[in-house]
Structure 1
Amino acid sequence: MQPAIRMDPRLEQRIAEKRAALDRQRPLPPAILAKLADDLRVRLTYHSNAIEGNTLDLGETQLVIAHGVTIGGHSLKEHMEAVNHAAAYDVVLDLAQRETELDEAALLQLHALIMHDLVGEPGVYRRGAVFISGSEHRPPHHTQVPGLMADWFAWCMGDGRAYPPVIRATLAHEMLLAIHPFLDGNGRTARLVLSLQMMRAGYPVALLLQGWRLSYIHALEQAHHGRYSPLVNVIGRAVEAGLDLYLDACDALPDELRRPLREVAEACVIDAGYLGWLLRAGRVSGAKRSGRWYVSAAAVRRYQDEVAAGTIPVGRPRHRSET
C-alpha cells in the first residue's frame, strides 16, 4: 500500500510554475550551464558537509575546492570532505546524462569518492552495527543490508515510478537513510543521490540548505515513523531552491530580480547587518558583485515566512552592517 504523502499545495504550485519557466528557457546556453555547475559544486558541497558538522564556510569551501587553499583553524578532515564531495558531484553530473538508472556500482563509486581517505573501506557496505545520534530509528543488522539495497534499487526502477518525481525522490531518500548501508557518509551520499534523481527527472539539483538542518533531521525522523509529508516539504523547498538558482542565472524571474542588500533590507524590514550574515551563511540565496551583496526581496520574504512558521531556526545576527 502506498503511503499517503501531501506536499504543501502552495509549494507544489510554485515548483510547477518554476519548472515550467525553466523549461521555456531550455536549452540553456553552455556558458550558463558551466557557471551553474561551478557554483553548485561549491554550494552543494558546503551545505551538505555543514549539515554533517563541517565548519568551513561557503567562501572557504570555494577556496579549498577551486584553488586547493589550506584554511587555518580547520582540520585536514574538513578539507578532505570538501574536495571529496566536489569530486563526487562531478560524477553525479556525468551520471545524470546517462540513459540507465543508478545502479549499485555507481552508488558505491559515489560513496568511495565522498569518503576517500576518510574511512578504512570506502565504497563498500557496512559489516557492523551503526547508530544514528539523536534518532530513535535503529538501522537493520549489517547482514540484511545487501538484500535491502537490492530491494531499494528495484523499488527505484519499479514501483517508485508510480509517484511524482519529488515524492519518489523523497521516499527513496528516506528508505536509503533508513537502511544506512555504510558505516559513515550515508547522509552526503543520499543527498547526492537525491539530486541525481531530480536531475534525471528534468529538474535542477535539490539544494538542501544547512540552515534547514534541524527541520530536515526532524522530518527524517518523522518519515522513519511513517509520516512523510514534512520530509516531502523540506525536499520540495530544496528542489525550489535549485530551480531559483537556475532561473536567476538566466534572468527568468522578473519578480525576483536581485537588488542591493540595503534596499531589500529596508523593503523587507530586516536589519541590513543581519541580512548580510544570512547571505554569508547561505541561509538566504544571493550574489556578491564587485564586493556588494545583491538579493531578491522574494528570497528574503521566503526566509521570513519560514522563520514565522517555525520550519527553520532563527540565525544569530551580526553587530556590524554589510554593504
Structure 2
Amino acid sequence: MTIYEKIDRCHEAIGAVRPFEGHMLEQLKDYYRIGLTWSSNAIEGNTLTINETKVVLEDGLTIAGRPLRDFYETVGHGKAYNFMFTLIGNRRISTADIKAMHRLFYKEIDEENAGVWRKEPVVVSGTDYVFPHPDELEKRMMELDAWITNERGKYHPVTFAGLLHLKFVNIHPFIDGNGRTSRLIMNLALIQDGYQLAIVPPVLRAEYNDTIRQYQIKGTSKPFCDFIAERVYETQKEIMRLFHIPLPELK
C-alpha cells in the first residue's frame, strides 16, 4: 500500500466523524498553531523552544535571553497562520493571498519589504540554484497563480500541495521568509481540500532540504512530495489518536 493510499484511508476514517466545527475546530486550530509555528521557525534557525513558542503565542510575552527577532517571527507566523484559516472555504490561493500572508508574518521584522516582491537577487546557502531575477518575479508569480487555478484538479491533493511548495520556493519572490511562506501556502492547500497539516520537525530538516535540492538540481518532485505525504500521514494518525478514531486496516 502506498503512502497516498494510507492517507486516503485515514482521510475517509476522519471524514466519517466530521465535521470538525465550533469548539472542536478551535481546539485543533490552536493545537497546531503552536506546533507549526515552532517547527517552521526552528527550521529557519529561530531559537525558541516549543514551550517558549506557546508562551509567546498565548500570552504575548517576550522570552528573556532570546533575540527580539525570534519573538517577532513567532508572533508574525501566528498571525499568518490565523489568516490561513480564513481562506479555507475559497479553494483558491492567489498572489494577493500570498502577499497578505507574508505581510502578516514579516511586518514587524521589515515593514518595507513585507508582502512585497524582492527588488534584489538572492543567494541561498546550501544550494547553487539560480533564483529568478527581480524583473522576472511578477511574471513568474502570475504563472504560478495560473497553474494553481488550472492544474489543481489534476493531482492528488497532497501531491498538489507539495508541488505548490516546490514551485513557490524556487521562485523565492520575497527578500526573506520564503520557506515559511511556502509551508503556509502548502498547508493552506491541504486544509482547503480537507486534508491535515504537514508539519516538518526540525530533526528532519536535512532530509527536507535535500528533497528540495533534488527538485532544483534534477527536476524530480517525487522525493519531496513523498516526504510531505509522510508528514500528512503522521498528523492524521495524531488526530485519530486525539479524537479516539480507530486506525483503518492498512495492509
**What range describes the TM-score normalised by the shorter chain of this pair?**
over 0.9
Letter of the 2:19 counterpart: P
- 2:100 matches 1:117: no
Alpha-carbon separation, structure 1, partners of 2:84 and 2:5: 28
- 2:207 matches 1:215: yes
Q: Match of 1:123, SS?
A: coil
User: How far is the alpha carbon of 1:191 from its aligned partner?
Assistant: 0.3
Q: Match of 1:208, SS?
A: coil
Aligned counterpart for 1:252 among listed residues 222, 235, 245: 245
Aligned counterpart for 1:180 among listed residues 172, 197, 216: 172
Q: 2:18 aligns to what?
A: 26
- 2:203 matches 1:203: no
Q: 1:17 to 1:106 in 2, by over 3 A?
A: same
User: How far is the alpha carbon of 1:136 from its aligned partner?
Assistant: 2.0
* Higher helix proportion: 2
Query: What's the % identity of the aligned pairs?
Result: 31
Alpha-carbon separation, structure 2, partners of 1:91 and 1:202: 17
Q: 1:284 aligns to what?
A: none
User: How far is the alpha carbon of 1:159 from its aligned partner?
Assistant: 2.4
Q: 1:161 to 1:67 in 2, by over 3 A?
A: same
Q: Match of 1:158, SS?
A: helix
Q: Match of 2:147, SS?
A: helix
- 2:97 matches 1:106: yes
- Does the 8 A contact of 2:121 with 2:134 survive in 1? yes
Q: 1:89 aligns to what?
A: 81
Considering only CA atoms, is the larger Rg found in Structure 1 or Structure 2? 1
- 2:147 matches 1:155: yes
Q: 1:236 aligns to what?
A: 229
Q: 1:100 to 1:170 in 2, by over 3 A?
A: closer
Q: 1:303 aligns to what?
A: none
* C-alpha distance after superposition, 1:247-284 (max 9, x if no partner): 222111469xxxxxxxxxxxxxxxxxxxxxxxxxxxxx
Ranges in structure 1 where 5+ consecutive residues have no aligned partner: 1-8, 256-323
- Does the 8 A contact of 2:198 with 2:228 survive in 1? yes
Alpha-carbon separation, structure 1, partners of 2:246 and 2:67: 40
Query: Higher relative CO (CA 8 A, sep ≥ 6), structure 1 or 2?
Result: 2
Segments ≥4 residues shifted beyond 6 Å: none
Letter of the 2:175 counterpart: L
User: How far is the alpha carbon of 1:18 from its aligned partner?
Assistant: 1.0
User: How far is the alpha carbon of 1:13 from its aligned partner?
Assistant: 2.6
Aligned counterpart for 1:77 among listed residues 66, 69, 73: 69
Q: TM-score with structure 1 length normalisation?
A: 0.73
- Does the 8 A contact of 1:128 with 1:142 survive in 2? yes
- Does the 8 A contact of 2:117 with 2:175 survive in 1? yes
Letter of the 2:136 counterpart: Q
Q: Match of 1:170, SS?
A: helix
Alpha-carbon separation, structure 2, partners of 1:211 and 1:117: 28
Letter of the 1:35 counterpart: Q
Alpha-carbon separation, structure 2, partners of 1:229 and 1:21: 26
Q: TM-score with structure 2 length normalisation?
A: 0.93
- Does the 8 A contact of 2:165 with 2:183 survive in 1? yes
**How many positions carry a matched residue from both structures?**
246
- Does the 8 A contact of 1:32 with 1:250 survive in 2? no
Letter of the 2:221 counterpart: Y
Q: Match of 2:186, SS?
A: helix
* C-alpha distance after superposition, 1:53-105 (max 9, x if no partner): 101111110001101122122110001110000010000001112x3511121
Alpha-carbon separation, structure 1, partners of 2:126 and 2:194: 35
Ranges in structure 2 where 5+ consecutive residues have no aligned partner: none
- Does the 8 A contact of 2:240 with 2:247 survive in 1? no
Alpha-carbon separation, structure 1, partners of 2:82 and 2:21: 19
